[in-house]
Structure 1
Amino acid sequence: MLKLLLHYFNSFSGLSKEVWWLALITLINRAGAMVIPFLSLYLTDDLNFSLQQVGWIMTSYGLGSFLGAWLGGKLSDQIGYYKVILISLLLTGVSFIAIQYFTSFWSICVGFFVLIAIADMARPAFFVALSAYSKPENKTRSLTFIRLAINLGFSAGPAIGGLIIASIGYYGLFWVDGITCIIAGLVMIQTLHPKKAKIQDKEVIVENPVSAHKDGVYVLFLIALALFGFIFVQYFSTIPLYYKEIHQLSEQKIGLLLALNGALIFFFEMPLIAYLEKTKLSKIGNVIGGFVLTGISFLLLLVTPWAGVLVIGMIIATLGEMVAFPFGNAFALDRSKKGRQGAYMGLYSMSFSLAHIFGHNSGMQFINNFGFENTWVFMILIAALGTFLLHIVKQKLNREKTSG
């Protein structure tokens, strides 16, 4: 037991002080992110929107995310990641508090479009900041550490969110989300101001940089990753509805099941990544493995109506997430050294925004027209296609190494 604990704590060694502060800011921010996992339930139960309307609201959410990711990547190269993250955190806090007062369909669509555009400006900026604050050999573990902070906050968020809904209603979530974003911004001012932070690895400005959208291998990788995001976002829109409508779970139980995802990541992701980094598996090979596991989690939902399969499916999906996301992030950061990091990481973030644009809405429309089981079959086919594309990426990378 002592050996396991030492291995766990050793997986954190060597990370810079700035990465620890960035993780704390992320933790504060994500601990308050209670609205998002309950968004589909809030829109159907509290505002009485139809599944079709919820799907279109989720699409506006995704379009805002797409715009925010593009704008964040652009601004990170122009004014720097620090200003982009700080502006995003403070304005997102104000926006979360304001949006609870929007109740009509069109005001909700526009409101979430603007809110998520502002919030997701920070995504590419966070990646560039992480690259700057971590030593080259620690980048994958630093990315994993930030994900750990995200998921630790996310494990607490839904559990607390379920209690807030049960006690005072959905509006309490918007206040908590808004206040925690503002607190995260204030912590950043105190800890990561450019005059206080010691940057470990400055971005190298390359001569004749490659445009991110002209890097064929990178674009194919992003298409595959967008497909992965397409099926993964179902765990935050259609899956909660499946839990409630088919398995009759309460909001509190749904919150606890979603919290299992964050708890598993907190305890196992860092040691798992530290172990996988020592193997001969490539970053793309690990992403493929994560994609396959996530596809299997949907397959399990078709096997049996037993409620216990929900827990098993969540565990397998979480394993897929733990493997795919850190190594996908690390591959994108490595590849970004061919050009400007902000543009590369902006495109990376935009690939997940596409998943939000099409994933939530498609899932809702599929469920409405074909039912849950046929929707899960569709997600399994998407997983198979994404895995195939990643195999092509892997082959192209091998040819690059051979010719290079």
Structure 2
Amino acid sequence: MLRTGLRNYINNFKGFRREVWILALITFINRAGTMVLPFLSKYLKENLHFTYGQVGWIMVAFGLGSMLGSWLGGKLTDKIGFYKIMIFSLFTSGIAFFILQYITSFWGLCIGMFTIMAIADMFRPAMFVSLFVYAKPENRVRALSLVRLSVNLGFAAGPTLGGLIILGMGYQGLFWVDGSTCILAILIFALKVKEKKRIPPAEGEIPTIPNRKSIYNDKPFWLLLLTIFIIVMVFFQIFTTLPLYHHEKFGLTEVQTGMLLSLNGLLVFFLEMPIVSQFERKQTNKIKIIALGALCVALGYFVLLLDSWIFILIISIILLSLGEIFAFPFSNAVALNRAPKGQEGQYMGLFTMSFSLAHIVCSKTGLDIIDNYGYQTNWIVMGSLAILALLCCVWLHRMLQTERLANKI
């Protein structure tokens, strides 16, 4: 039984081109080194002694830079190609992380975080388009999941290692490791992957939607962006308010918080690919899967209302991880499939911008709610927003059904 299960799990990883595996490898290296982000709010609050409000504004600058980077990355990817954007983004952001550790003033960090994220997040839409080019058409959803697994495997190792580095070297050690892994990852990519132009559609492949005059007229796509924005905004509490909650409510150390966050990465690593493969085989409607993810995220915060039991933290992480598994890869796939040929960068740029905007709203809103009303109110608000995202999925499902019927006429 165990051998059969292992064989079935390994079979989910077959059929990828060499370039897709290299993209997964550099994503893992980069993500494992991204140890600053899970501890950023703690670093700003406890080491630099900023107020909750100041931490919130620095995280807003972080998100605004991410939005600009996502938009620029999408635009430039369509104009000059994903390959050059990926190399520029990771190499330059690696250097920028080395410099960031020496900035300790409030306005300096606002400007520094804005700049570094504007450069770093040019990578994301370019990476999504690279998967579209290098992955076989029938493997694109699984290729997205493979790269996401690399992200989460790196994330499983990163926070725990980050907690140990903080204890041994202090927070400055995180900046050195983060910058170094950015540079290492992109050197591997440049040496092992040759630039490849866009590929024509596979034989028999039909674009999901006809070419549109403007992306801004694609109403279902904008509703998808709103839906994923809400889900991500709520989910991102795992990086901003949850680490603070672990310490202030239950007295957890950085290492213990890192281990809890690592559980999220491990669950996604072991469960996402089999779940995605199973849904793909059954051809389950992707919008329904995203709705299931929104429900899991809502429950992940509602259970935190039972705050007299420390093990509720584990249950919450499990539910949030399931929400991530259901919502993120399939929303990626829906967005990429709606992009007309030649506009993939623009579509994925706006898609990744929704993540960045979610980070802005999440950080400021969550910390302000906690500062004024406490953690319990924040969990109620975030769980309710996730339910709103579920209702948006219902609306989007009906809108897409109407669109399909109209196209058949």
TM class, shorter-length: over 0.9
- The residue that corresponds to 2:76 in the other structure is 75
Partner amino acid for 2:28?
A: L
- The residue that corresponds to 2:151 in the other structure is 150
CA distances 1:282-328 after superposition (whole Å, capped 9, x unpaired): 11111110111011000100134201010111011101101111101
In structure 1, distance between residues paired with 2:20 and 2:340? 20
Q: 1:169 to 1:219 in 2, by over 3 A?
A: same
Matches for 1:81-160 after TM superposition, within 5 Å: 81-160=82-161
Partner amino acid for 1:403?
A: A
Tell me the CA shift for residue 193 of structure 1. 2.5
- The residue that corresponds to 1:248 in the other structure is 251
3-state SS of the aligned residue for 1:278?
helix
- Are 1:265 and 2:268 an aligned pair? yes
- The residue that corresponds to 1:278 in the other structure is 281
- The residue that corresponds to 2:402 in the other structure is 399
Which of 359, 364, 370 does residue 373 from structure 2 map onto? 370
Partner amino acid for 2:396?
A: V
Q: Which TM-score applies when normalising by structure 2? A: 0.95
- The residue that corresponds to 1:172 in the other structure is 173
Which of 219, 235, 242 does residue 216 from structure 1 map onto? 219
Tell me the CA shift for residue 207 of structure 1. 8.5
**Could you tell which deviates more after superposition, 225-234 or 206-215?**
206-215
- The residue that corresponds to 1:9 in the other structure is 10
In structure 2, distance between residues paired with 1:135 and 1:125? 17
CA distances 1:101-148 after superposition (whole Å, capped 9, x unpaired): 000000000000000110000111011001111111111100000000
Partner amino acid for 2:265?
A: G
Tell me the CA shift for residue 198 of structure 1. 9.1
Which of 223, 230, 234 does residue 231 from structure 1 map onto? 234
Over the matched positions of the two proteins, sequence identity in percent amounts to 46
Q: 1:278 to 1:50 in 2, by over 3 A?
A: same
- Are 1:25 and 2:26 an aligned pair? yes
- The residue that corresponds to 1:296 in the other structure is 299
How many residues end up aligned between the 2 structures? 402
- The residue that corresponds to 1:60 in the other structure is 61
Tell me the CA shift for residue 213 of structure 1. 2.1
- The residue that corresponds to 2:39 in the other structure is 38
Q: Point out where structure 1 has 5 or more consecutive residues left out of the alignment.
A: none
Tell me the CA shift for residue 211 of structure 1. 2.1
Q: Point out where structure 2 has 5 or more consecutive residues left out of the alignment.
A: none
Q: Is the 8 A contact 1:209 1:340 kept in 2?
A: no
Q: Is the 8 A contact 1:132 1:202 kept in 2?
A: no
Tell me the CA shift for residue 395 of structure 1. 0.3
Q: Is the 8 A contact 2:81 2:197 kept in 1?
A: no
Tell me the CA shift for residue 162 of structure 1. 0.2
- The residue that corresponds to 1:359 in the other structure is 362
Tell me the CA shift for residue 214 of structure 1. 1.7
CA distances 1:316-368 after superposition (whole Å, capped 9, x unpaired): 11011011111010001101137611110001011111101111111001100
In structure 2, distance between residues paired with 1:280 and 1:132? 23
In structure 2, distance between residues paired with 1:260 and 1:213? 39
In structure 1, distance between residues paired with 2:238 and 2:210? 42
CA distances 1:54-90 after superposition (whole Å, capped 9, x unpaired): 0000000000001000000000001100000110000
Q: Is the 8 A contact 2:304 2:312 kept in 1?
A: yes
CA distances 1:368-393 after superposition (whole Å, capped 9, x unpaired): 00100001110011111111111111
Q: Is the 8 A contact 1:81 1:129 kept in 2?
A: yes
Tell me the CA shift for residue 400 of structure 1. 1.2
CA distances 1:158-193 after superposition (whole Å, capped 9, x unpaired): 010000001110000000000000001100111112
Tell me the CA shift for residue 254 of structure 1. 0.2
Q: Is the 8 A contact 2:133 2:197 kept in 1?
A: no
Q: CA RMSD in A?
A: 1.7
CA distances 1:220-240 after superposition (whole Å, capped 9, x unpaired): 110111111110110000011
Q: Is the 8 A contact 1:131 1:201 kept in 2?
A: no
Q: 1:207 to 1:380 in 2, by over 3 A?
A: closer
Q: Is the 8 A contact 1:134 1:201 kept in 2?
A: no
Tell me the CA shift for residue 403 of structure 1. 1.7
